[in-house]
Amino acid sequence: MRFVTTQNIFINNEEYFDPNWMDSNKIIYPPKKNWDYSRQLNIEDVDIWEVLWEGGGGWGVYASWSPYAEFYMVCSGPNNIETFYGKLAQKRLKEYIQLLNIPPLNSVETWVENEDMWLYTP
């Protein structure tokens, strides 16, 4: 996993790095706070993004990490930005990147034991 700040994406094109991460044998991720969905999330509200995919020339797909929410940003060139927020954001993101011929993103499956299935059914 790689992380960037909004400034890293739009200004200096560097990876987010904290030297304290080198003080442990465990994988340490940047701090994460959950979004409360009290209002629409905007690019300016995001401190740290998880990099889902990056290409050259300002192309990239990012997921909001801090705050942690269903909020995605696609940069398809220096001045072309599209965001997806809330319910069905991931589905709309996948459809959009397919139109741009961006490689499919890796998905994580959640495996649930039968006795815990009640937690995941409406």
What's the pLDDT tens digit per position in 15-53? 666 666 567 777 778 888 888 889 999 999 999 999 999
Q: How far apart are CA 44 and CA 53, in angstroms?
A: 20
What ranges do the domains of the chain cover?
A: 3-120
- Residue 1's contacts (CB-CB under 8 Å, 6 or more residues apart) are 29, 50, 51
| Other Cβ atoms closer than 10 A to 109 | 5
What's the pLDDT tens digit per position in 41-94? 999 999 999 999 988 888 999 999 999 988 999 998 778 999 999 888 888 999
pLDDT at 120: 46
What's the pLDDT tens digit per position in 103-120? 888 765 555 467 656 554
Q: Is there a cis peptide before residue 67, judged by omega within 30 degrees of 0? A: yes
